[in-house]
Structure 1
Amino acid sequence: MSLRILFVCMGNICRSPTAEGILRDKLAAAGLAEAVELDSAGTGDWHRGKAPDSRAIQAAAGRGYDISGLRARQVTAEDFQRFDLILAMDHDNLAWLEQLRPEGGAVPELFLARQGLAVDEVPDPYYGGAAGFERVLDLLEAACAGLVAEVAARHGR
């Protein structure tokens, strides 16, 4: 049975699609692509149907990740039944998810805190420069490596 993971940020154009792209690539490299169903979404609906921010696409491509084909969507109550792990990028989005969560639905978590990183939030790079997108990539690559190890352990690898 596959593990179903949803990454969530505010607009689904910077952090969460980057996390989806990184994890998809790392799982494929580990031979675990079929073991996980991945998606990303935003707590807001401003960018629904749009591609990731061009700066996020460029920064990800600089490290070999193609996120250009992803499209933004908003989190729904049904996502709490569909996904096993709902991983928020920061405290604000976690609080929003906790309010939306239906009884018996998956309990959202902070992605970085779950992976035991020294910081617990992925900063939103939207209003900053290129360095912010590189910082996001650093944090997400580290956290995704932990998720790959977790998936590998579930599958006896």
Structure 2
Amino acid sequence: MTTRVLVVCTGNVCRSPAAELLLRDRLGAADVDVASAGVHALAGQPVDPPVAELLAERGVSPEGFRARQLDPAEAGAADVVLTMTREHRAAVVRARPGAVRRTLLLPEAAEAAAAIAREGWPADLPDVAARLAALPRLATRHRGAATAAAAAEVPDPHRQSAAVHRSTVDLLAGAVDTLVTALGTGARPIG
């Protein structure tokens, strides 16, 4: 069964599409469907040009991407919802209260996955898709141990300097790399 991941930010033109596209690239052939949306989406817009350039530097194409508004039904159907800020997490939960236990900040999810991987994934989770689907349930016991950096929010680079864009995409790439490596895909690190 396919594991569904929804990544959420504000406008769905910078952070969430970058995380979506980086996750798709790193997960490769894993049975995971990754999508993204915004709580105040700039619906129909492509990835913001500075972010698109930074993704292209990493070999990830933003071609064809279009921003979408958060759909409560999609949030409800997702196995994992990854947000950029606590405000985004609250917006997802307001839109779909049942998603509360499946909604994590991306850095928090990455740190929890790394902690679980250090302990060893349960034997009944033999592949990446199963581990990712179980992450919200397993992350509960690791939330208190999360470092300040892992619990940090991902800053919005929209209409900010090139340095802020690079810093944000680097943070996203690092979180995605940590998450996917912990899931055990053996994929290459992000450029």
Normalised by the size of structure 2, how large is the TM-score?
Answer: 0.70
Q: In structure 1, what is the Cα distance between the partners aligned to 2:32 and 2:153?
A: 23
Aligned to 2:75: 80
SS at match of 1:80: helix
Map 1:1-157 onto structure 2 (within 5 A): 1-28=1-28, 33-45=29-41, 47-103=42-98, 107-116=102-111, 118-119=149-150, 120-152=152-184
4+ aligned runs moved over 4 Å, structure 1 = none
8 Å Cα contact 1:90-1:122 kept in structure 2: yes
Alpha carbons of structure 1 residues 62 and 98: separation in structure 2 relative to 1, 3 Å: same
Structure 2 stretches of 5 or more lacking a match?
112-146, 186-191
**Count of residues in correspondence between the two structures:** 148
Superposed CA RMSD? 1.9
Structure 1 stretches of 5 or more lacking a match?
none
Shift of 1:106: 5.8
8 Å Cα contact 1:6-1:41 kept in structure 2: yes
More helix by share: 2
Q: In structure 2, what is the Cα distance between the partners aligned to 1:77 and 1:88?
A: 14
Alpha carbons of structure 1 residues 135 and 102: separation in structure 2 relative to 1, 3 Å: same
Normalised by the size of structure 1, how large is the TM-score?
Answer: 0.84
8 Å Cα contact 2:92-2:99 kept in structure 1: no
Q: In structure 2, what is the Cα distance between the partners aligned to 1:80 and 1:106?
A: 12
